[in-house]
Amino acid sequence: MVLFILRRLGQALIAIFGVMTLVFFIQRLTGDPTYLLVPETATQADIEAMRRSLGLDQPIIVQYMSFLRDIAQFDFGRSYVQRIPVTTIIASRLPYTLQLAGGALLVSFGLGVPLGVVMALWRDRPATKLLTGFVFASQSMPTFWSGILFILFFAVWLGWLPPSGAGGIENLILPSFALGLLSMATFARVTRTAMLDELSKDYVRSARARGVATPRLFWRHLARNAAIPVISVAALEISQLLAGAVIVETVFAWPGLGLLTVQSIVSRDFLVVQGIVLIGAFVTIALNFTADILYSVVDPRIRLDGSRP
């Protein structure tokens, strides 16, 4: 088990290192990253001064090393627009994105998993088939369209909820549903497939033959076995939610990291964009690492050979 965790940790560290390298090279896609960091009004002298102060006149390998060193110390540089450290800006917006992601996870997990169970257990009823069709179709729904439709129905026409902005819990409801809807469909689909896989296995039939009541069969046997794929999808979905927040926050003017990203691109505040992307990538890698560990805790078969079944 320890060996398994260590090996996965090693892989995660390599991935983090790789992401930093990737971002470093993307910075240099247009040649000189200095132009990303100066305002559009900068004179040639400003650009030269900026280049020297950032060490961009050094050999590229030196630049790369100092880039890695700064990021490793959680130094993402200073915002050129706001003139404060990028970490401070990100820290001030992070709570909003976490609230939104939490709300969306509540919606997607809380509705998606029961939906999936219903879709599996009563799969032959016409009503269930219709429901399944709707859930599958909702996977093709762009969040920015469903978000706008939510605003239209619940804020403009019905007037139940505020259309945008941050504030109380009522501001969080529409964005959470808009962001959570897509993941809800994923959870429902994965839960349904996992339940159907389990239902077709021999132990279910023999348990039924022994007279095990349905609720007991469900909680003691089905739910546990079907949980494995759902857990691994959960970690992926959290990172999807964080990425999806960029769009949903823009739709609802929710002042989290997503809106900050878009605002920073518009104001050409490159270091803030880079900081958010790096942190987003690190969080994704950490979530996947956690999922793998959880996975092996739930299903001991995985631990034995270190690979997945």
158 to 217, contacts with another protein by CB under 8 A? 163, 190, 192-194, 196-197
Burial class, 36, CB count within 10 angstroms (exposed 0-12 / middle 13-18 / buried 19+): middle
Q: Nearer Cβ to another protein, position 212 or 303?
A: 303
Which of residues 151 and 222 has its CB atom nearest to another protein in the complex?
A: 151
Q: Is 266 in the site for another protein (CB under 8 A)?
A: yes
Binding segment (CB under 8 A) for another protein, from list 30-38, 99-107, 108-116, 211-219: 30-38
x/- binding map, residues 103-132, to another protein, per CB under 8 A? --------------------------x--x
Please say which residue, 151 or 172, places its beta carbon nearer to another protein.
151
Rule CB under 8 A: choose which of 4, 64, 67, 144 binds another protein.
Answer: 144
Q: Which residue has the tokens 């019905």?
A: 158
Residues 232-251 interacting with another protein (rule: CB under 8 A): 232-233, 235-236, 239-240, 242-244, 246-247, 250-251
Question: How big is the site for another protein, counted in residues (CB under 8 A)?
Answer: 73
Among positions 271-290, residues that touch another protein (CB under 8 A) are 273-274, 276-277, 280-281, 284-285, 288
Q: Secondary structure of 64-85 in the HEC alphabet?
A: HHHHHHHHHCCCCCECCCCCCE
Contact status: 141 vs another protein (CB under 8 A): yes
Q: Whose structure tokens read 């599996």?
A: 120
SS3 of 189-211: HHHHHHHHHHHCCHHHHHHHHCC
| Residue 32 falls in which region: left (phi positive, over 0), alpha (psi -120 to 50) or beta | beta
Q: Which two tokens stand for residue 22?
A: 């990737």
State the Cα–Cα distance between residues 231 and 233, nearest whole angstrom: 5
Q: In sequence order, what are the beta bridge partners of 85?
A: 78
